Structure 1
Amino acid sequence: MRDSMRSVESRFNRRFGYPWVFLNDEPFDEDFKVGVMKMTRSEVFFAQIPKEHWSYPEWINQTYAADERQKMVNENVIYGGSESYRHMCRFNSGFFFKQKILESFDWYWRVEPGVELFCDIDYDVFHFMEANNKVYGFTIVLYEYLRTVETLWDATREFARLHPDYIHPENTIRFLVDDEKKGLQDGDWNLCHFWSNFEIGSLKFWRSQPYEDYFKFLDEKGGFFYERWGDAPVHSFAAALFLPQSAIHNFYDISYRHNPYQTCPQNRKLFHDNGKCECYPENSFDTDGYSCMPRWWKVDGNPHEL
């Protein structure tokens, strides 16, 4: 985690001094606290996640859930047998923004262990989001593993039928469905989603009634435990359906690495010749066969061509 902090501090936060907030389902080790506090001049806050936000809800059949996990283990599905991974995905889908320690915050930047930035960020990303009416920011889009989300799309379509008023008229369903004519109810999800280990976004959006109702609906389906629904596709569906296209922002100028993928701005004059970035444009994940970025560019335009 300290390596991630070192990168974010060096590339961004030493200029702006935003506080760090650490959440954990268990009490933090004192050595960890001391270690991360040494990495920044900013305030650092620590909080323990309430048990009810990191445990099985009463309606989950844990025997059935265990059987389904074993099936995924047998099929070599990544994190297929992990209970903690499922609790984490459910927490990030429905509870992180409800933590008491975050009540006074309107914006967040999610930072995970082992990530790295390769470009200097010389502007305030939160002011940028607010000034430009942005709500959700991302860097990487890619395909989800179908085995882990087999019923998530159907559940989302069912929710949309129950709450058509929640679907924004300027939504980005066409990013999720290749056949634009079919739309949400008739089209098949192409498995594209925003990779949520990097998010810069509005906490107000996750606290909104449409998202609250959406998460509750999904949670009662049990897919976080019976399958392995991730917070990434859940967040992606919500952003694509409940927000206007203009509220979703691709931080193409932030070269971000989360193993095994990394992005890198393409414009050498703007980002490389001046020493702002230290990455190789030709190696950017944006043009990898597993990336959904070309699909996003069809929706929102390719910023590298500006």
Structure 2
Amino acid sequence: MEFVKKNPQYVNPNGAFKWLTDSIQNPDYTKKANGYSTCHFWSNFEIANMDFYRGEAYSKWMDALEEDGGFYYERWGDAPVHSVGVGLFEDKSKVHWFRDIGYHHSPYKSIPNSDKCSAPEDSGYFAPKDVYSLNCLSNWVKYEMTYKELQQY
């Protein structure tokens, strides 16, 4: 947030702010993270326009994060960093969640309903019940997807 306060010109006015700041799902996490919901995509499957990652906003933000030392001292991961960067600096309409592609990254999984695979009992859920409160993908659908995008599925 310090970077955003110093560089408001980089924030996309149509960013994914509700998803990044939702405090209803995990109020304790959001409070500890100074207003960040801790939501991010848990998939290492990404297709990206590298112009975004090489652009001025993302590059300067990465320089600021690097300078903070969190990559080294707090083990900041690539998934939250990519998700927050895209949520702040890109138009949310350019973000596509590939929810029809199966993925597993323990403890999370995405198993699209399909007659071509035999999915476990909890098919279609993103995580086991004991970590449901950490699953923010329903918030992405609720806050950031358009009606048109939802109709595609």
1:165 paired to 2:9: yes
Query: Residue 119 of structure 2 aligns to a residue in which SS?
Result: coil
- The superposition leaves residues 104-135 of structure 1 with CA deviations (integer Å, 9 ceiling, x where unpaired) of xxxxxxxxxxxxxxxxxxxxxxxxxxxxxxxx
The 1:265–1:196 alpha-carbon spacing in structure 2 relative to 1, beyond 3 Å, is closer
1:192 paired to 2:39: yes
* Match in the other structure for 1:221: 68
1:162: how far off?
1.3
* RCO comparison, higher one (Cα < 8 Å, 6+): 2
Counterpart-to-counterpart distance in 2, 1:304 and 1:280: 26
* Match in the other structure for 1:126: none
* Match in the other structure for 2:139: 295
The 1:292–1:278 alpha-carbon spacing in structure 2 relative to 1, beyond 3 Å, is same
The 1:305–1:198 alpha-carbon spacing in structure 2 relative to 1, beyond 3 Å, is closer
- The superposition leaves residues 141-198 of structure 1 with CA deviations (integer Å, 9 ceiling, x where unpaired) of xxxxxxxxxxxxxxxx111111111111111011011159xxxxxx711211112522
Aligned pairs, number: 137
* Match in the other structure for 2:103: 256
Query: Residue 250 of structure 1 aligns to a residue in which SS?
Result: coil
Query: Residue 67 of structure 2 aligns to a residue in which SS?
Result: helix
* Match in the other structure for 2:119: 279
Q: Is the 8 A contact 1:159 1:217 kept in 2?
A: yes
Q: Is the 8 A contact 1:255 1:279 kept in 2?
A: no
Bigger radius of gyration, 1 or 2? 1
The 1:264–1:304 alpha-carbon spacing in structure 2 relative to 1, beyond 3 Å, is farther
1:177 is aligned, of 15, 21, 27, to: 21
1:262: how far off?
2.0
Counterpart-to-counterpart distance in 2, 1:304 and 1:192: 24
Query: Residue 96 of structure 2 aligns to a residue in which SS?
Result: strand
The 1:256–1:278 alpha-carbon spacing in structure 2 relative to 1, beyond 3 Å, is farther
Q: Is the 8 A contact 1:173 1:240 kept in 2?
A: yes
1:303: how far off?
3.7
The 1:166–1:208 alpha-carbon spacing in structure 2 relative to 1, beyond 3 Å, is same
5+ long unaligned stretches in structure 2: 25-33
Q: Is the 8 A contact 1:196 1:231 kept in 2?
A: no
The one-letter code sitting in structure 2 at the alignment partner of 1:197 is: N
The one-letter code sitting in structure 2 at the alignment partner of 1:215 is: M
Q: TM-score, normalised by structure 2?
A: 0.77
Structure number with the higher strand fraction is 1
5+ long unaligned stretches in structure 1: 1-156, 181-186
1:227: how far off?
1.4
Counterpart-to-counterpart distance in 2, 1:285 and 1:259: 13
Q: Percent identity?
A: 37
The 1:236–1:279 alpha-carbon spacing in structure 2 relative to 1, beyond 3 Å, is same
Q: TM-score, normalised by structure 1?
A: 0.40
